[in-house]
Amino acid sequence: MSSSGRTTPARTLADQLRGWPDERLVALLRARPDLATPAPQDSSQLASRAATRSSIHRALDGLDHLELSVLDALLVAGQTTPEGLISIVRADPQRTAAALQHLLDLALAWESPGGVRALAGVADAMRGMPGLVSGLRPSSPDAPGPADVAARIAELSPAATAMLRHVDAHGGEGTTGSARRTVSPAEARTPAEELISRRLLVPRDGDSVVLPGEVGLALRGGRTTAEPVDDVPDLATSPREPALVARTAAGAAFDVVRRVELVLDHWGVQPPSVLRSGGLAVRDLRALARELHVDEPGAALVVEVALAAGLVAEAVDADGSPAWLPTDEFDVWSGRPVAERWTRLVGAWLASSRVPSLVGSRDPAGKAWNALAPELSSGLAEEARRLALEVLAQLPDGEVLAAGTGIPSLVQRARWLRPRRPTVFADLVTAAVTEAAVLGVSGAGGLPPSGRHVAADDLAAAAEAIDQHLPSPVEHVLLQADLTAVAPGPLETEVARRLHLLADVESRGGATVYRFTAGSVRRGLDAGWSAAEVRDFLSSVSQTPVPQPLEFLVDDVARTFGSVRVGHAEAFLRSDDEAALAALVHDPRGRSLGLRLLAPTVAIATSPLDVLLPRLRELGAAPVVEAADGTVRVSRPDLLRARGRRGRRPAGAVEARRAAEVQAVATAIRAGDRAGSSRPATAESTTPSGALAALREAIEAGSTVVIGYVDNHGATGERVVDPRRLDGGRLAAYDHRADDVREFAVHRITGVRRA
């Protein structure tokens, strides 16, 4: 792939793209997804889009320090051979070559007939990155050779040398003051004039002078920088047994799944309300943290991950006010094996733009961030997580981030890998590493096999890898005389559900401790169990005989259970005439009223009073309404559910779809190219996008075009121009007729054709 474009130098970037094999084009569209949406018509449009300012900025953001430096060197050199470029970058030649190849693959540089060149917009985009790149200006078009420059520098007086170095160290620009612009070396009187006369400083408009790139190179020993640009910051690591890493990670994974389940089980019954600004109240978060035995950031992470996984959503609760509720997908999720539940969570976490680490801190306006708040997200979050995992995945097995110094060193590495990212990116990377540990993606500072699969987006393999380290479900508990039951591992769901009904949970973790109390046993009886059933269940799940005090407890509760009976009735009927009441109750015509005799003189009806009254009159009774109250309403907290987000697809499917799309886009571009090639070469581009593409092509190639232009008076004319820059809807171009650089409004250009 690497040499494909080099053998036949292309006239323009579009030409070059046309010459690329399909797979290279696909790789480009994958690396710069913004080029593919919407699908460009043909390679010209693709090239044009690749040269737009925003797209270049995006592409630059993804470059590491070495790649940026190579690109910078390319700008300094102007147009050069790969060998020439490699010679001026202070780095390992092979790595420089690889970086250059990456830039070519990204279409940030291309191979013109005159040598490798950076894309036109890159120079603008690279400006204003002091500290990240060399700071050198481009070399002069007619730059003398390095030996020549060195000779000229050698001729200088000490004062002039000092001045030259000063200018180089301070941004490569200075003012000349009274120095004359046009002097010969012999006539030079001041150091400034010495420099100007030897073209070591080049005057620009006003009284400023700049240091041309070739001089800067000479001053820095023929390289763009004094320091090497390929020294990747080392990670601080320490050895750790891989088995321990895997176990620690699995422990954390198990914990996080359990916690999410606990939170949502709880919220299904008692949902916290949604703040008016969205998000979860600090009070609710605090309560949650207590319940989960974690700190508040930990609790925030749990709920944020649940949100990202679509297990919790905003909906209205029973009272009609907005609340955070588990979604129906939660029910599906809770029925899955632990490993699968975990991958769902971490997959969602990895791809999510949420920033749970901010919870508890304050935004610039001084307002505290709430968990689940809609604005708690960052476009960089996903990139930070993927980058952090990528770096962790590079650690060999048996080596983990050192405690303490490990994370800062990883952040340093992240800075090197993404120098153009804002400082907040470092915070996001730090948060990503901590979150990965809490979620069980990493363990003890290293990535176990399961974590490596997550980093590679292979969730199915991750589930398989972590499964062997997760506690296997147990079916039995140990019953003890102090009225506790201990499940020495995660219980089978069905057993757990039943035990949950009969006993209160006292302690959670790898094991669960349940305590039986009179209240909890009564709860079981309330749910329809009989004392015998409770005993049978207990002896069936216990490996040891049921302790005698527990049997006594069950029997005691059962003995008093139901001695008072409560029921539901809409109305009551009472009469001193027992016979009359019995007649009513047994009247077949009154069957629909649901009458039932409680005592000889009291009956109840399940029909409401307003139905009952006329019906009783029909039946020949003459009832009198005694009092409307006295009815009992039995209510039970309902399990509430919100509707989950629809149309979610597993991560693999998303990936497959994206691959298919990219392929389709590449095919479409090819089709456009074929159509374009069958058109006459001089065809005028009259569509706006075609015109733009043609103009960008001309900027790249430095060629002359004829544009149709509507002037201020509405008259259409043709101009012969050399386009220079296209930005903000305006074209700057050298107008052959006016012999000057003019600006043209793009919307007034009716067509573009080659001159």
Partner 1 sequence: MNDGPLIVQSDKTLLLEVDHPSAPEARKAIAPFAELERSPEHIHTYRLTPLGLWNARAAGHDAEQVVDALLTWSRYAVPHALLVDVAETMGRYGRLRLEKHPVHGLVLSSTDRPVLEEVLRAKKIAGMVGTRLDDDTVAVHPSERGNLKQALLKLGWPAEDFAGYVDGEAHAIDLAEDGWTLRPYQREAAESFWDGGSGVVVLPCGAGKTIVGAASMAQAQATTLILVTNTVSARQWKDELVARTSLTADEIGEYSGAVKEIRPVTIATYQVLTTKRKGVYPHLELLDARDWGLIVYDEVHLLPAPIFRMTADLQARRRLGLTATLVREDGREGEVFSLIGPKRYDAPWKDIEAQGYIAPADCVEVRVTLPDGERLAYATSDPDTRYRLASCTHAKIDVVRGLVRQHAGQPTLVIGQYIDQLDEIAEMLDAPVIKGETTVKERQRLFNAFRAGEIGLLVVSKVANFSIDLPSAEVAIQVSGSFGSRQEEAQRLGRLLRPKTEGRTAHFYTIVSRDTVDADFAQNRQRFLAEQGYAYRIVDAGDLAAEA
Residues near partner 1, by CB under 8 A: 244, 247-252, 254-255, 293-294, 298, 437-438, 443-444, 468-472, 478-484, 486, 488-489, 507-511, 513, 544, 547-549, 552, 556, 560
Q: Is the peptide bond before 38 cis (omega within 30 degrees of 0)?
A: yes
- Of 256 and 666, nearer to partner 1 (C-beta) is 256
- Of 275 and 478, nearer to partner 1 (C-beta) is 478
Residues 239/242/245/249 CA torsion (nearest 10 deg): 150
Sign of CA dihedral 222, 227, 229, 231: positive
Contacts of residue 444, Cβ cutoff 8 Å, sequence gap at least 6: 240, 244, 245, 248, 249, 400
- Of 314 and 492, nearer to partner 1 (C-beta) is 492
Tell me how far apart the alpha carbons of residues 695 and 686 are, in angstroms, rounded to a whole number.
12
- Of 553 and 571, nearer to partner 1 (C-beta) is 553
Query: Any bridge partners for residue 338, and if so which?
Result: none
CB contact at 8 A, 531 and 567: no
- Of 461 and 511, nearer to partner 1 (C-beta) is 511
Closest approach, Cβ 608 to partner 1, in A, equals 37
H or E element: which one contains 573?
strand 571-574
- Of 509 and 600, nearer to partner 1 (C-beta) is 509
Interaxial angle between packed helices 493-502 and 531-541, expressed in degrees from 0 to 180 and rounded to the nearest 10: 130
Q: What are phi and psi of 211, to 5 degrees?
A: -95, 115
Closest approach, Cβ 673 to partner 1, in A, equals 56
- Of 209 and 252, nearer to partner 1 (C-beta) is 252
Tell me how far apart the alpha carbons of residues 60 and 63 are, in angstroms, rounded to a whole number.
5
- Of 374 and 509, nearer to partner 1 (C-beta) is 509
- Of 247 and 415, nearer to partner 1 (C-beta) is 247
Q: How far is CA 630 from CA 563, 569, 627, in A?
A: 20, 9, 8
Closest approach, Cβ 292 to partner 1, in A, equals 8
Distance from the Cα of residue 32 to its chain's centroid = 17
Tell me how far apart the alpha carbons of residues 593 and 615 are, in angstroms, rounded to a whole number.
8
Closest approach, Cβ 648 to partner 1, in A, equals 30
Closest approach, Cβ 447 to partner 1, in A, equals 15
DSSP, residue by residue, 337-365: -HHHHHHHHHHHHHH--B-GGGTTSB-TT
Strand order in the sheet with 173-175: 173-175, 208-210, 202-203
Q: Which two three-digit tokens encode residue 261?
A: 């389940």
What Rg do the C-alpha atoms of the chain give, in angstroms? 38
Closest approach, Cβ 517 to partner 1, in A, equals 9
Closest approach, Cβ 502 to partner 1, in A, equals 17
Closest approach, Cβ 510 to partner 1, in A, equals 3
Closest approach, Cβ 257 to partner 1, in A, equals 13
Angle at CA of residue 552, ends 548 and 556, nearest 5°: 175
- Of 481 and 741, nearer to partner 1 (C-beta) is 481
- Of 549 and 650, nearer to partner 1 (C-beta) is 549
- Of 247 and 420, nearer to partner 1 (C-beta) is 247
Closest approach, Cβ 504 to partner 1, in A, equals 14
Contacts of residue 568, Cβ cutoff 8 Å, sequence gap at least 6: 606, 631, 632, 633, 634
CB contact at 8 A, 399 and 447: no
Closest approach, Cβ 201 to partner 1, in A, equals 54
Tell me how far apart the alpha carbons of residues 288 and 274 are, in angstroms, rounded to a whole number.
15
Closest approach, Cβ 30 to partner 1, in A, equals 36
Max alpha carbon distance in the chain (Å)?
139
